[in-house]
A and B are shown apart, each in its own frame.
Chain A
Amino acid sequence: MKKTRTIKVDYLARVEGEGALYLRIKNDAVVDVKLKIFEPPRFFEAFLRGRDFREVVDITARICGICPVAYQMSSAQAMEDACGIQVGRSLRQLRRLLYCGEWIESHVLHIYMLHAPDFLGYADAIQMAKDHPAVVEQGLQLKKLGNDIVKLIGGREIHPINARLGGFYKIPAKSELAPLVEPIKKAREAALKSVRWLGKLPFPEFEQDYEFVALRHPDEYAITEGRLVSNKGLDIAIKDYENHFAEEHVEHSNALHSVLKERGAYFVGPLARYNLNFDRLSPLAQEAARDAGLGPECRNPFQSIIVRGVETLYAFDEALRIIDEYDAGDEPAVHPREAVGYGCTEAPRGILYHRYKIDRGGIIRDARIVPPTSQNQKTIENDLWRFAAKYKNLPDDELTWKCEQAIRNYDPCISCATHFLKLDVVRE
């Protein structure tokens, strides 16, 4: 008997941006899966041409309301590379601190407001808050600290205004950072409890064989700099990114799909970082991960929520270390020259690559921006193929919800992906 099931979600909820999902099951086999991104393309790479090189930091920050710092850092790194300068240790640490604030803001928003409701069976965080007020209160407390860090270093909670090429418009004195210390210590305690709580959530069995790609650094859990590595042999400098990765346009998405030229789909973000850099996490973060039931390797994307919790804890730990060692430094002058510059930093959702070509007068001639969510699209679709195949015997509404949850494992930021969720499941 022929039977076709269609699972359709016209408008994906609890993801940033506008996307839809289409799944077709024919005679008990999954025959089609599409993550449709219909967020309108935004053409940043095009309109950056002709702008002044110093403007990248503020312009690209507008690509995203949740991860503007990531854009500011990747663009600054790429432009500074083009100009042949490197910012000194003190300012690099300050940038890392700002980035920690953003990781906290972004991860906590996702964990508590967007993803935890799935694991506990609630339609949204507001419903969840009625039965689990303490959990949501904890999330709000953590997010507030993230906001406070970004506001102090970046000058504003959303679209920070203080970052620029070469450093910052206003470099804080050590005494200005001191008031954060006690609140961060308390938040770190809450973040630790949070990881333990996350470890107890129910996780579907779904281990997959992924190629994880992330930055790796000799001394730190890579956020702002490093080489690009994978668990399947990739180990390249950032400037060689385009020799190994390609973008392609698929009909059903306004966001370009990224592939590794040699091997196809790959996976970026917290789970990739965790798998490739576990040894670089602070002892507290490693211990918390173990207490939550994770080893140094984790291949179940549903457990990304635990890893986001671990990274949040790490970010608080790291923020305290940076504040403790902080000593305000000098800023280099940044002069343009005709060159191409490369930048790649770890946005909350994964590697964010920028490349700019500028002329002698500092005018941008060409821009390339590859956000993490574009890079994860194929992997998301692959997950959906395999997940739907494994759980196809669930009734449609349950399967639909689980597929949405599977998409949310990647904390997609669709606005970013379309800088340049409607799940249709058709069962035939």
Chain B
Amino acid sequence: MSHPVIIIGIGNPHRGDDAAGLLVARRLKNRKLAAEHAGKAIEVLEQSGEATALMQSWAGAHAVVLVDSISSGAAAGTVHRFDVRAKPVAAKVFGCSTHNFGVSEAIELARSLNRLPQHLVLYGIEGKSFQPGEALSAEVEKAMDAVIDRILDEIPDTTG
């Protein structure tokens, strides 16, 4: 009997590379994961990154994978993987906004409240440009495929 896995793509579809997380989720949805991983309950969601909605969406899940774009100063397209249970996530890496209670707050608040899932992995795709408009940079496009492969490889380890 498998435990539920939830994959959440986070982002803003109108700000360049900030759409990356959402687009990863959409591509995963199109892959029809249930068929590939027969018998395992996998859900794929898209979220804007608002903290309470995020915490709500992973409630009851055994394993969660979050995908978001980040701006940490690394080269565009760099893929960062954070094992959230092992170590706190630096707010300034994921929390670039002064206008939102977002991903890093959701994670750290959940940690304080013992509301983190058993497994929580956060993929950050280093963005190049977050300007209004919808075009993704080529580096981020490429990185998205790499992230999708890594997520799919990990699913057997995080379920059952």
A39 CA / B99 CA spacing, docked (Å): 11
CB neighbours (8 Å) of B53 from chain A are 147, 157
A17 CA / B98 CA spacing, docked (Å): 5
Of B100, B105, B113, the contact of A65 (CB 8 Å cutoff) = B100
The verdict on B52 contacting chain A, using a C-beta distance below 8 Å, is: yes
On whether the beta carbons of B108 and A126 are closer than 8 Å, the reply is yes
CB neighbours (8 Å) of B159 from chain A are none
Residue total for A at the interface (Cβ-Cβ under 8 A):
25
Interface residues of A in 12-41 (CB under 8 A from B): 16-18, 39
Interface residues of B in 33-54 (CB under 8 A from A): 48, 50, 52-53
CB neighbours (8 Å) of A39 from chain B are 98
Minimum CB–CB distance for B71 against chain A, Å: 17
On whether the beta carbons of A136 and B113 are closer than 8 Å, the reply is yes
The verdict on B109 contacting chain A, using a C-beta distance below 8 Å, is: yes
On whether the beta carbons of A129 and B101 are closer than 8 Å, the reply is no
A147 CA / B111 CA spacing, docked (Å): 22
- Mask, A190-202, CB within 8 Å of B = 1, is 0000000000000
A87 CA / B53 CA spacing, docked (Å): 32
Minimum CB–CB distance for B11 against chain A, Å: 12
On whether the beta carbons of B50 and A113 are closer than 8 Å, the reply is no
CB neighbours (8 Å) of B105 from chain A are 113, 125-126
Minimum CB–CB distance for A121 against chain B, Å: 16
CB neighbours (8 Å) of A415 from chain B are 99
On whether the beta carbons of B56 and A126 are closer than 8 Å, the reply is no
One of A137-145, A249-257, A334-342 at the interface: A137-145
Minimum CB–CB distance for B102 against chain A, Å: 10
CB neighbours (8 Å) of A143 from chain B are 52
Q: Nearest chain-B residue to A126 (Cβ)?
A: B108
CB neighbours (8 Å) of A88 from chain B are none
Minimum CB–CB distance for A64 against chain B, Å: 8
CB neighbours (8 Å) of B108 from chain A are 126
Interface residues of B in 76-133 (CB under 8 A from A): 98-101, 105, 108-109, 111-114
A130 CA / B56 CA spacing, docked (Å): 19
On whether the beta carbons of A140 and B52 are closer than 8 Å, the reply is yes
Q: Nearest chain-B residue to A109 (Cβ)?
A: B101
Given contacts A16-B98, A113-B101, A126-B108, are A157 and B50 in contact (CB under 8 A)?
A: yes
CB neighbours (8 Å) of B48 from chain A are 157-158
- Mask, A114-150, CB within 8 Å of B = 1, is 0000000000011101100100110010011001000
The verdict on A187 contacting chain B, using a C-beta distance below 8 Å, is: no
The verdict on A66 contacting chain B, using a C-beta distance below 8 Å, is: yes
Q: Most A CB atoms within 10 A — which of B111, B113, B114?
A: B113
A65 CA / B100 CA spacing, docked (Å): 7
A144 CA / B55 CA spacing, docked (Å): 10
CB neighbours (8 Å) of B55 from chain A are 140
A68 CA / B114 CA spacing, docked (Å): 32
Of B98, B109, B114, the contact of A126 (CB 8 Å cutoff) = B109
Q: Nearest chain-B residue to A129 (Cβ)?
A: B112
CB neighbours (8 Å) of B99 from chain A are 16-17, 64-66, 415
Minimum CB–CB distance for B41 against chain A, Å: 23
On whether the beta carbons of A129 and B113 are closer than 8 Å, the reply is yes
What are 7 A-B pairs at a CB distance below 8 A? A17-B98, A17-B99, A66-B99, A113-B105, A126-B112, A133-B112, A157-B53
Residue numbers of B with Cβ under 8 A of A are: 48, 50, 52-53, 55-56, 98-101, 105, 108-109, 111-114
Residue numbers of A with Cβ under 8 A of B are: 16-18, 39, 64-66, 109, 113, 125-127, 129-130, 133, 136-137, 140, 143-144, 147, 157-158, 414-415
List 17 extra interface pairs beyond A113-B101, A136-B112, CB under 8 A.
A16-B98, A17-B98, A18-B98, A109-B101, A126-B109, A127-B112, A129-B109, A133-B114, A136-B109, A140-B55, A144-B52, A144-B56, A147-B50, A147-B53, A157-B48, A158-B50, A414-B98
User: When A and B form their complex, which 7 residue pairs have the shortest distance between CB atoms, in order from nearest?
Assistant: A129-B112, A126-B108, A143-B52, A130-B112, A65-B99, A133-B113, A158-B48
